[in-house]
Amino acid sequence: MRLDELITIISNKINTPVNQSMLAESLGITRQTVSNRIKNASEVTVSELQRVEEFFNISLFNYSENGCSEVAYIDYYTDVFASCGNGSIVFSSEKTKLPIPVSMISGYSKNKLYSMINASGNSMAPTIDNGDKLIVEHWGGNQIQDNKIYVFCYNNEFFVKRLSKNLDEIIIKSDNPEYRVRTISEDAASDLILIGKIVATIKQLD
């Protein structure tokens, strides 16, 4: 986990924007050091994470009996943008592994495959905003769970939407009321390719 990622997670935990000076104070280093480490994409150590938890009085991780934090190392595709608007995605082979607290991931299981991507667009606002990071539980062949948010491909475009299934159609809904509800008929449903279900959202700070 990089320092800029940590700032976002802390801010979500305490519901208050955290700046570099506050993070520096929690780590016992200077603000300039924090700034330099962010520029260099420096990774956070476990001991630093524990200092942050103590300083902000928050729990970033679930701890086992031996005191080790329970994290999942997830592939983060920094240049992949799944659309929350009109449907677009940019693929890149570049990725990095990030340690994510399993407590942040809904229904986490070591037997499931996860990845992290970026959201683009505003059709799922305020649930998902432009620039938010989305943790995807890759589809394992299960049935669509009504009203859950999925990443899927349709007509060679990628979307992040809520899906529900009727007997003869799939309903596609946006959380932003400015976007209309769409449906896919049973005949066309075979063209819809599920990538996975959104199981966590890391909000992007302004």
Per-residue pLDDT tens for 9-24?
A: 898 888 889 999 999 9
Is it the case that residue 147 has pLDDT exceeding 60?
yes
- Residue 143's pLDDT is 83
Query: Do 3-60 and 69-202 have matching folds?
Result: no
Kindly give the pairing relationship between strand 96-101 and strand 133-138.
Answer: unpaired
Binning pLDDT at 50, 70 and 90, where does residue 68 land? very low
CATH says 3-60 is which class? mainly alpha
The answer, as to whether pTM is greater than 0.75, is: no
Is it the case that residue 204 has pLDDT exceeding 90?
no
Percent of the chain with pLDDT over 90: 34
Both tokens of 175, joined, read: 């959380």
Binning pLDDT at 50, 70 and 90, where does residue 67 land? very low
Whether 147 and 162 have beta carbons less than 8 Å apart is answered as yes
- CA angle centred on 9, ends 80 and 82, rounded to 5°: 20
Is it the case that residue 81 has pLDDT exceeding 80?
no
182 or 92: which leads in pLDDT: 182
Whether 84 and 124 have beta carbons less than 8 Å apart is answered as yes
Question: Which CATH architecture describes the domain 69-202?
Answer: Ribbon (2.10)
Percent of the chain with pLDDT over 70: 87
Domain ranges of the chain: 3-60, 69-202
CA 183, CA 189: separation in Å to the nearest integer? 10
Burial profile 21-60: b = 16 or more Cβ within 10 angstroms, e = fewer: ebbbebbeeeeeebeebbeeeeebeeebbeebbeebeeeb
Task: Determine the residue type at 173.
Answer: K
**Mean pLDDT on 27-49:** 85
Is it the case that residue 133 has pLDDT exceeding 80?
yes
CA 22, CA 181: separation in Å to the nearest integer? 43
CA 33, CA 106: separation in Å to the nearest integer? 34
- Residue 181's pLDDT is 95
User: At a CB cut-off of 8 Å and minimum separation 6, what does 140 contact?
Assistant: 112, 113
Binning pLDDT at 50, 70 and 90, where does residue 83 land? low
Whether 170 and 163 have beta carbons less than 8 Å apart is answered as yes
